[in-house]
Structure 1
């Protein structure tokens, strides 16, 4: 175990040493991400696991990767989640999820995974239905179309960049039902693949939250945190972007660690992770789930799973320019970071 961790740290550190200046891109950072996020949210609302909208969005993502020149495939997986009725009776909902994978091959079998979930929230109970949570009209621009947009722009920017380490771009499903797609992905990885995975970067909820956060896994070694989380924060400072890590107000989530997303699956398996999200860890619940201070536009301080709030028209009115600005800020940090970590060439 410790040998594997030392191996990952040394590999990532070597990648940082060989970073070369990035070439100018024909468009501004974040433009493509913004366009893709809005397209996905508009064309594929209600991307609940196993629904036609989820399958169509997976097909769309695969087509985008293939048009960029990547090898890409869709892996189907069968799973289930519990549904609670008004009388407290529980039943199993059987679904087939879709995971999209695109491969940027490096010179080495060592790899970095960049991941974002494509599904939107499916009601888990009659109470959810009564409260209009999830469902067919949920655009999910924050949760999680904007992250898919960033992932696609990273793929576009890196498609012709040679790297020492391979990069896997993965859009998971089943996240909203308990990280089911991420668990299926991990279960299907061979021991060699797990050993060769230097880092998993998870993108989630990038728009509505007050601040950008970069958090490591609880089990990510300090040496890897320095090369990933701390390096991301340093890049943010050089760009004049406000970014933080979890201040550690909740003992269940120590300082600088992440909570409640697909990255946890890999963290528990001992694979280093970096979570990228926008929220506010300093508010009352202290677990990062409350995204911003309560206000007239966001009465509960969150937009999670609410079709009325988590759509681009509402966010454009409540937070003018936020989708474009946050997409740009995340790209300005993540593209140079990924190039460093993957040991990019000219």
Structure 2
């Protein structure tokens, strides 16, 4: 049977190859759909760096991956090591202080002025702090931490990627904190290492945490965040969500705020806290992420390795990871663009 494969000479193959190469080069590179980068990064971090507890080998390798990823985007990215301590309670009633050497990641890009907007997410997974934690399989080496908090890091990295291509008036900083699951020590270390001028130049910190399992997205301001900043950040985010048809709200007034970032709030650093939860189910602290069900018997996935993993969430919340990451990016990207390049720069 006649076949081009049998008669094609090397010259013809070279010619055809050249035509294809020219055609391919002429095609514009299509940017990934919104949320795609966040979904991929979330899955990558959860799959390849489970058990990334502060001070663990997995944490250090994950920090290096995040640092290199941000560096390739063009940011001035660095690892920041620090010592953290936490109280461990034994089954026999004894309590001892344990020390870990944790590593956060900080990446900067200068804008037209020194004032900066910070996007932050912790990447460490829960570090068991008692024999009871270990006996109940909370935290540990197998915890993928998809929801808490590969999801936040994934969105942070997509925002960093897309903002890397846009000149900005204000400077940008992206921070991946460690030791947050050991008593918010990453946030404390971050604040302790900010000079007075740097604190003054921090216009807003957007913190991303646990974006998948909760019933709906919540946007909250810090207790000490001014009404003017809340209007430009929280209220604007909710306005964008309504325009896009995305279900999002703020937690009821008068409830506790700033879990994990109380140190920043106490330092009067303006905050926009983004998470997914369910304040409608009767709990008053936002810790119950969804109604109690067969597959979520406590209404939460936090710290539970048998639930907070890709296989489980893909099975019992099919499509949720991709859709929630997409919704988060669809709201936060236009918000960040507007905040970083305000129309009135005076």
Normalised TM-score (structure 1): 0.89
Q: Which residue of 2 aligns with 1:302?
A: 300
- Preserved CA contact (<8 Å) 1:111 1:199: yes
Q: Distance in 2 between matches of 1:102 and 1:38?
A: 22
Q: 2:255 touches 2:284 (CA, 8 Å); kept in 1?
A: no
Q: CA deviation at 1:25?
A: 6.9
Matched, 1:204 2:202: no
CA 277–49 in structure 1, closer or farther in 2 if over 3 Å, else same: same
DSSP-derived class of the 1:219 partner: coil
The SS at the match of 1:95 is: strand
**Mapping of residues 200-279 of structure 1, within 5 Å:** 200-248=205-253, 251-253=254-256, 258-261=257-260, 263-279=261-277
Deviations 1:95-148 (A, max 9, x none): 011110111211101001100001000101000011010000000000000111
TM-superposed deviation, 1:320: 0.3
* Equivalent residue in structure 1 for 2:117, among 96, 109, 112: 112
- Work out the number of aligned pairs and report it: 315
Q: Which structure 2 residue ranges, 5 or more long, are not aligned?
A: 1-28
Maintained 8 Å contact 1:30/1:327: yes
- Residue equivalent to 2:4: none
Q: How does 1:1-346 map to 2 (within 5 A)?
A: 26-248=31-253, 251-253=254-256, 258-261=257-260, 263-343=261-341
Asked whether the 8 Å contact 2:292–2:298 carries over to 1, the reply is: yes
State how far apart, in whole Å, the 2-side matches of 1:252 and 1:36 are. Answer: 32
Change (3 A) 1:241 1:252: closer
Q: Distance in 1 between matches of 2:191 and 2:229?
A: 20
> Could you give the per-residue CA deviations for residues 181-226 of structure 1, whole angstroms, max 9, x where no partner exists?
1100100000000000000110000000000000000111111111
TM-score scaled by length of structure 2: 0.89
Q: Which has the higher contact order (CA 8 A, sep 6+)?
A: 1
The root-mean-square deviation of aligned C-alpha atoms, in Å, is: 1.3
Query: Residue 84 of structure 2 contacts residue 99 of structure 2 at CA under 8 Å; is this kept in 1?
Result: yes
**Deviation at residue 283 of structure 1 after TM alignment:** 2.0
In the TM superposition, residue 37 of structure 1 has moved relative to its aligned partner by 0.5
Shift of 1:286: 1.1
* Alpha-carbon separation, structure 1, partners of 2:283 and 2:258: 13
**SS at structure 2 position matched to 1:73:** strand
Distance 1:68 1:344, change over 3 A: farther
User: Equivalent residue for 1:13?
Assistant: none
The 1:25/1:195 distance shift into structure 2, 3 A limit, reads farther
Q: Distance in 1 between matches of 2:58 and 2:125?
A: 10
1:344 positional shift = 6.7
Shift of 1:247: 1.5
* Residue in structure 1 matched with residue 16 of structure 2 by the alignment: none
After superposition, the C-alpha distances for 1:285-322 in whole angstroms (9 at most, x for unaligned) are: 21110000000110010000000000011000010000
* Largest Rg, 1 or 2: 2
Note the C-alpha offset of 1:38: 0.2
Q: Distance in 1 between the 2:68 and 2:268 partners?
A: 32
Q: What SS is found at the alignment partner of 1:54?
A: helix
Q: Which runs of 5+ in 1 are unaligned?
A: 1-23
CA distance in 1, matches of 2:255, 2:342: 36
Cα deviation digits, residues 231-258 of structure 1 (max 9, x gap): 000000011000000023xx442xxxx3
Once the two structures are TM-superposed, the CA of residue 88 in structure 1 deviates from its matched residue by: 1.7
